[in-house]
Copies of this chain bind each other. A is one copy, B any other.
């Protein structure tokens, strides 16, 4: 059984979309990544995060029910869990952040449990680059692969820290606008080349409903997003992608380019569930049968014989 170490937020989210709104529900990058990766049965996923005293047992139960090890989630007494609230507009591609209460996240110091210090795959969810680095530094065995997710916010306030960390990662997942910002290049082909030069040998550019591009030196691979009749809530789609990507790779003996392409397809496949309901509801409840059926739909969507 391979080990996947996930370092990422566990949070409360309140979400508004054209289709409805939620009170505080379970959210956070680490949550989505873990739940998504839990679809791979031969992977032992350990989640490193921090929550407040207000984080309910029932949310721990959700994670445990999917086999996620939460030993690395620190519960800070007398403090509150990270809270994010956002609102999506009609086209669902843009969102406004309404509230960000960092709470426990402000002083998050990740502690990797002994058991996961030799994890084969490390997934660094979106956090301050120094926090991501502090987690990575605790590994006692060099991971086979380190995957980093980040966002424009860290490019704005901690670019040098991010660049230092990029030298240590194998894969970066980033959206198209962030790739343009990080590289200063408008063309994604040129952006990927510039980001390669910063360290990661694999650059995954997420384009939301327009799919995801994988760049590896001179090679390119593309996975579409599955066109859906209804997109209900895009929150967590990128993190679900990252969980599918790393979960699939944790199950593979070798990290060949072919396997990394397949990991992109798996990430896209699992992300297509997350957007069908508010929050983690759909990805936490999806069955093996549904996942397999949708993978067949993906093949139908992309396969041709020229």
A224 near B227: Cβ-Cβ < 8 Å: no
CA distance A219 to B302 in the complex (A): 11
A221 touches B300 (CB 8 A): yes
Range for the number of chain A residues in contact with chain B: 35 or more
| Contacts A210-B210, A265-B306, A306-B265; A221 near B187 (Cβ below 8 A) | no
Which of A90, A210, A231 lies at the interface centre, i.e. has the most chain B CB atoms within 10 A of its CB? A210
Tell me whether A229 is interfacial, beta carbon within 8 Å. Answer: yes
One digit per residue, 1 when the CB lies within 8 angstroms of any chain B CB and 0 when it does not, for chain A 8-20 equals 0000000000000
Contact of A304 (CB < 8 Å), options: B230, B258, B297, B304:
B258
Residues 23-65 of chain A, each 1 if its beta carbon lies under 8 Å from chain B, else 0: 0000000000000000000000000000000000000000000
Inter-chain CA distance A187–B304, complex, in Å, is: 24
If A91-B186, A295-B306 are given as contacts, then 5 extra A-B residue pairs at C-beta distance below 8 Å, sorted by A number, are A90-B186, A187-B228, A222-B301, A261-B304, A262-B304
- Check if A288 is an interface residue, CB within 8 A of chain B: no
Q: Is A304 a contact of B221 with CB atoms below 8 Å? A: yes
- Which residues of B sit under 8 angstroms from A302, Cβ to Cβ? 221-222, 302, 304
Q: Which of A231-252 contact B (CB under 8 A)?
A: 231
Q: Is the CB of B262 within 8 A of A306?
A: yes
A165 contact set on B, CB distance < 8 A: none
Across the interface, name the chain B residue whose C-beta is closest to A297.
Answer: B220
A156 at the interface (CB under 8 A from B): no
A255 on interface, CB distance cutoff 8 Å: no
Map CB proximity to B onto A78-99 as digits: 1 under 8 Å, 0 otherwise. 0000000000001100000000
Copy tally for this chain in the complex stands at 2
- Cα A213 to Cα B226 with chains together (Å): 11
Distance of A40 from chain B, by nearest CB (Å): 14
Residue A207 interfacial (CB < 8 Å): yes
In the complex, what distance in Å separates the CA atom of A211 from the CA atom of B297?
18
Query: Could you tell me the distance between the alpha carbons of A73 and B207 in the complex, rounded to whole angstroms?
Result: 43
- A189, CB-defined interface residue at 8 Å: yes
> Closest chain B residue to A296 by CB distance?
B306
A190 located at the interface, meaning its Cβ lies under 8 Å from any Cβ of chain B in the complex: yes
Smallest beta-carbon distance A94→chain B, Å: 14
A297 to B190: give the CA distance in the assembly, Å. Answer: 17
Could you tell me the distance in whole angstroms from the C-beta of A39 to the nearest C-beta in chain B?
14
- A188 CB contact (under 8 Å) in B188, B221, B222, B227: B227
A220 to B220 alpha-carbon distance, docked (Å): 23
